Amino acid sequence: MSDILSINNIRVLCAEMVEEAKSGHPGAPLGLAPFVYILFKNYIRFDPEDSKWINRDIFIFSNGHACTLEYVIRHLCGYKIGLEDLKKFRQLGSITPGHPEFGVTDGVEASTGPLGQGISNAVGYAIALEKMKLYNKESLSIFDNRVYCIFGDGCYQEGISHEAFALAGHLKLSNLTFIYDSNKITIDGPTSLSMSDDSVLRFKSYGFEVEIIEDGDSDLKKMEEILNKKITKTKVIILNTTIGKFSELEGNAKVHGAPLGMENLKKLKEKLNFGEEKFLVKNEVKEIFEEVIQRNKENRKVWNEKIKKYRIKFPEIYEEIFRKEKTVLKISYENQSGKIATRKHFSDALNENISKFKHLIGGSADLTPSNLTKWKESEDFTAENRKGNYIRFGIREHAMMGICNGISYFGHHFVFCGTFLNFITYGFPSLRLACLTNLKVLYVMTHDSIGLGEDGPTHQPIEVLPLLRATPNLTVLRPADGRETRFCLKFAYENDGPTVVCLSRQNLPDLNNSSIDLSYNGAYFIKESENSEIILISTGSEVCLALECAEILQKKNKKVSVVSMISFELFEKQSESYKQKILPPKVIKISIEASSTFGWQKYSNFQIGIDSFGKSAKYEDIYDYFGFTPDKLSDRILSLL
């Protein structure tokens, strides 16, 4: 009876939170409460006084709209979430937002809500934990934590779920358990409106171990039986639940995303033997969770003793695991003769400095030979080789970026991923959440303009740079040569947030006055003329064109300076005096970039760019077609003046 009382207390609290906020999703928590209760009571290992304990089990709600259930269960488990926080659900400044946000609510492991994201995050966490197991010794094992991820019918339907499930199964991530909250309801109504696939066959096709709980509303014994089983590969538990269980709208789509209403809430509480008192946690329930908390504290003490022994026996490895100091990467570069693509420069920089990186994990969405992201000493991370540090993500850009988020959430590894810049939009929802959460992820995006040539407008990222530059918390870098590209690697390693590096397919010359140090300013003079009449501002592969153009204009008695603007975001962080020194208000400024002109109006009086889709041809011909040659640019500039 005590378990039933606890479950019903959780249900009531979830419903009350939504009612108090006059907003939210009561349906899923009412159905999922039994399983989440059993999971936290008997299986999840945690330390409420140290929610980032490195050997904790990871719990993710991919169907983040059910977050009241996570907030309530973590409140009961002693996390830094008080009853007052539950009452402030969805209110300005609260630590209980409308969907889970990493870094806002104690214990929350991932920012979820856009459906399916948590599934990919869970795969990332599982990979990170597999890497941690490499520190275990035969005589002393210190890492054995697991990942549990709940997802619903909406997550199931999202394409990212297939991408992430497929890779999880391929990698045989046996430390990962998915729980499919199959209540067979979406916003429009029953799932039969839009799906008729066989979920069991789908999961088996990934190589998952599949378990089914027919009565997810009340069969606690079956839940424990399944959770007690030894796991040898990725597991999915299909949990058949009833949305809005015990409410007047039980099994109805209307209970998904709106408060029950005062009258229906009252009936729910009466049905579950709760009185009128709001936000009540019954004493018997408190006692149950006090025991849960105490047991987990004891488990933590045992682990602490193990880690003390580990520190004595393996001091150097211990330091490698727990060292926290910020690393500043020292990189230098001497100009090379000839022309080299910045994607090749990035590859060279990675290989030149690979010994300086600790805990590096990288990968590409099946574009390794094009992105040049695999360094010489790397090994593939596979089901057979957990020592590997390079992930073959396959053609799965969306899941790749979500998986990198999961790796970054765990916090032990420096992670990067690669694809063509145009295809960053295939994974943009994951990138956006990395920005929302300010995750340290590096995106190595090659083939960054019309310069990729013959593949044509389907692959040429005209509108992508403005999209990325408009995204909060994201630093976008577009280097012009080898020196600036090495700055990009250095900056991304030192940066605490997400970084996109945009790299050329075509070969480019090294520039005499480019600078690693000055790149930190976001923009600097790469050619400065006294008493300039014109300042050309450019990025990446167009900086060399701007320099050639300046030479032509100077022969026509124009005083021209050239600014390399490697990053809008870094430039915006500079002082007003520096900004005005680089871009003086009274001097005519003209931007040159083989991309959309959107956003350049802030910095330039005139914009030279491409506001249409590209062409399929040799890149030299495309540049000529759009007027991106030194002669055509200089003529255009003179006509603007």
Residues 6+ apart with CB under 8 A from 498: 431, 434, 435, 438, 439, 440, 441, 442, 443, 473, 474, 475
Does 25 show up as a binding residue in the annotation?
yes
> In angstroms, rounded to a whole number, what is the distance separating the alpha carbons of residues 79 and 69?
14
Does 442 show up as a binding residue in the annotation?
no
Q: What DSSP state is assigned to residue 91?
A: -
Does 202 show up as a binding residue in the annotation?
no
> In angstroms, rounded to a whole number, what is the distance separating the alpha carbons of residues 431 and 500?
10
Bridging pattern class, strands 499-502 and 441-446: parallel
> In angstroms, rounded to a whole number, what is the distance separating the alpha carbons of residues 635 and 632?
5
Annotated active-site residue 397? The verdict is yes
Given 397, 484, 569, 593, the catalytic residue = 397
Does 124 show up as a binding residue in the annotation?
no
If one counts every other C-beta atom within 10 angstroms of the C-beta of residue 517, the result is 9
Does 448 show up as a binding residue in the annotation?
no
> In angstroms, rounded to a whole number, what is the distance separating the alpha carbons of residues 593 and 537?
8
Helix axes 397-410, 159-171, angle to 10 degrees: 70
Angle at 313 between CA 307 and CA 315, to 5 degrees: 80
Does 343 show up as a binding residue in the annotation?
yes
**One-letter amino acid for residue 69 of the chain:** L
**Alpha carbons within 13 A on the beta-carbon side of 544:** 19
Does 185 show up as a binding residue in the annotation?
yes
> In angstroms, rounded to a whole number, what is the distance separating the alpha carbons of residues 183 and 152?
8
If one counts every other C-beta atom within 10 angstroms of the C-beta of residue 473, the result is 14
Does 113 show up as a binding residue in the annotation?
yes
Q: For residue 559, what are its two tokens?
A: 């005083």
Does 331 show up as a binding residue in the annotation?
no
**Alpha carbons within 13 A on the beta-carbon side of 168:** 37
The distance of Cα 189 from the centroid of its chain, to the nearest Å, equals 31
**Alpha carbons within 13 A on the beta-carbon side of 562:** 27
Helices within 53-196 (DSSP H only): 67-76, 83-87, 117-132, 153-157, 159-171
Q: Are the C-beta atoms of 499 and 443 separated by less than 8 Å?
A: yes
Q: For residue 167, what are its two tokens?
A: 């890779």
Q: Which residues of 190-221 are buried (b: 16+ CB within 10 A; e: fewer)?
A: ebeeeeeeebeebbeebbbbbbbbeebbebbe
Residue 140, H or E segment: none
If one counts every other C-beta atom within 10 angstroms of the C-beta of residue 284, the result is 12
Bridging pattern class, strands 189-190 and 185-186: antiparallel
> In angstroms, rounded to a whole number, what is the distance separating the alpha carbons of residues 609 and 334?
31
Helix axes 428-437, 117-132, angle to 10 degrees: 70
Does 265 show up as a binding residue in the annotation?
no
Q: For residue 479, what are its two tokens?
A: 């280097």
> In angstroms, rounded to a whole number, what is the distance separating the alpha carbons of residues 567 and 599?
13
Does 423 show up as a binding residue in the annotation?
yes
Does 257 show up as a binding residue in the annotation?
no
> In angstroms, rounded to a whole number, what is the distance separating the alpha carbons of residues 520 and 537?
16
- Cα–Cα separations (whole angstroms), residue 399 to 155, 330, 371, 432, 434: 13, 32, 18, 13, 13
Q: What DSSP state is assigned to residue 284?
A: H
Q: Are the C-beta atoms of 241 and 217 separated by less than 8 Å?
A: yes
Q: What DSSP state is assigned to residue 172?
A: T
- Cα–Cα separations (whole angstroms), residue 417 to 126, 361, 367, 402, 424: 17, 9, 10, 10, 10
Does 115 show up as a binding residue in the annotation?
yes
Residues belonging to the active site:
397
Indicate the annotated binding residues for Mg(2+): 153, 183, 185
Indicate the annotated binding residues for substrate: 25, 256, 343, 370, 447, 455, 459, 505
Indicate the annotated binding residues for thiamine diphosphate: 65, 113-115, 154, 183, 256, 423
Indicate the annotated binding residues: 25, 65, 113-115, 153-154, 183, 185, 256, 343, 370, 423, 447, 455, 459, 505
